[in-house]
Amino acid sequence: MSNTNSTLLDSVDARTKLAGSNKMEILLFSLGTRETFGINVFKVREVSQTPKITKTPNMPTGVEGVISLRGNIIPVISLAKFVCPNELDAQNEETMIVTEFSKHTQGFLVRSVDRIIRVDWNKVRAPETMLAGHQALITAITELDDGKLVSILDVEAILSSVIGESFVPDIPSVGVDQEKFMFFVDDSLVARKEIVSVLDKISVKYQQANNGAEAWDKLQNIANRYQHDSQHLSHYLKLILVDAEMPEMDGYVLTKHIKSDARFQGIPVVMHSSLSSNANRAMGSSVGVDAYVAKFDPFVLAETISPFLQS
């Protein structure tokens, strides 16, 4: 590992305590084009020079092979082949970013890493203006001080492209009254599809949002409507499921808003996140999260939310 990469790794380890501050830290990297990409440092285990990769037969598209990392065999994925396959020579991927999320560990090959930047979540926005070809793999964008845009990768979408979407088996209905519903928010299209599949299986009505700020607006509108009708919101809205990291407002700040608003009294908040370390769980508890469930196991998700829905 080079001195530069060691410094980056030290920074990643030292700065993971930012969770819940409504700030995020992004590791910037290049794929060899003019565009700058980023990944949330909470997902990064280490950064190193690209090691020798063992080619294996019948690997999914984009997977270059496997490596042994401290006794574990992990896949190595060429990001260039997903994000910009027609723009560059993927042979010059000299750096590997080892990521860990949703119980998966994998190496992402990139041209080079740059530095870590710290930004406020409210300056991270959804990629409405991105080109369609990129949009499926970009979860958010932010702007550097010099005006240059950073495209933040949707690592869940990339992993889904490699291993396929999670299979959601038959799960028994929880028997919730039709007048009752739950609310969920997640910025990842892949995650939203998986959540919807589980909720459809267990026959629960739902409303949803794509980021924390949008969720808070929608939740306030829901609360205002029930308050206007002199109805107790907690009788109808049985659960709020929040992602941890989202553009504009993260799940920790969203939970603080919910827990500090008397209209949502008695409505549990469950955090559903690919960031499932003890540190992230502790931060969720500190803002009042009632339960924490790691992405993505459909049975575990159903088992976690069912008692709240039936209460």
- Single out the residue of 307, 305, 309 nearest to residue 293, CA to CA: 305
Take residue 242 and report the two structure tokens written for it.
Answer: 């929040």
How far is the C-alpha of 187 from the C-alpha of 128, rounded, in Å? Answer: 12
Take residue 40 and report the two structure tokens written for it.
Answer: 């949330």
DSSP letter at 117 equals E
DSSP letter at 295 equals T
Residues in the chain: 311
How far is the C-alpha of 190 from the C-alpha of 308, rounded, in Å? Answer: 24
pLDDT at 15 (0 to 100): 46
User: How many of the other CB atoms lie within 10 Å of CB of 81?
Assistant: 18
pLDDT tens digit at each of 311 positions of the chain? 444 454 555 544 444 455 556 777 899 999 988 889 999 887 888 899 999 999 888 877 778 999 998 888 999 998 888 777 665 555 678 899 998 876 778 999 999 999 999 888 888 887 764 444 455 688 889 999 888 999 998 887 887 777 666 666 678 788 788 889 999 999 888 889 889 999 999 999 999 999 999 999 999 999 999 988 888 999 999 999 999 888 888 888 899 999 999 999 999 999 988 766 666 677 777 788 999 988 878 888 999 999 999 87
Residue at token pair 């992004």: 26
Q: What are phi and psi of 279, to 5 degrees?
A: -65, -45
Strand-pair category, 149-153 with 112-120? unpaired
| Residue 197, helix vs strand vs coil | helix
Q: Which fold has domain 22-163?
A: OB fold (Dihydrolipoamide Acetyltransferase, E2P) (2.40.50)
Q: What is the pLDDT of residues 279-305, one digit of tens each?
A: 667 777 778 899 998 887 888 899 999
pLDDT at 18 (0 to 100): 59
CATH ID of 181-310, from 3.30.70.1450, 3.10.450.710, 3.40.50.2300, 3.40.718.10: 3.40.50.2300
How far is the C-alpha of 70 from the C-alpha of 88, rounded, in Å? Answer: 31
- Single out the residue of 241, 246, 300 nearest to residue 267, CA to CA: 241
| Domain locations in the chain as residue ranges | 22-163, 181-310
pLDDT at 9 (0 to 100): 52
CA distances from 155 to 10, 118, 267, 303 (A): 22, 19, 30, 25
Task: Report angle CA 276, 101, 126 to the nearest 5 degrees.
Answer: 100
Could you list the beta-strand ranges (E) of 50-111: 63-69, 72-78, 95-101, 104-110
- Single out the residue of 188, 186, 128, 107 nearest to residue 153, CA to CA: 188
Q: Is 159 left (phi over 0), alpha (psi -120 to 50) or beta?
A: alpha
Take residue 225 and report the two structure tokens written for it.
Answer: 């409507």
How far is the C-alpha of 203 from the C-alpha of 175, rounded, in Å? Answer: 7
How far is the C-alpha of 195 from the C-alpha of 292, rounded, in Å? Answer: 15
Take residue 59 and report the two structure tokens written for it.
Answer: 């690997």
How far is the C-alpha of 305 from the C-alpha of 271, rounded, in Å? Answer: 10
User: How many of the other CB atoms lie within 10 Å of CB of 179?
Assistant: 8
Q: What is the pLDDT of residues 118-129, one digit of tens each?
A: 888 888 887 764
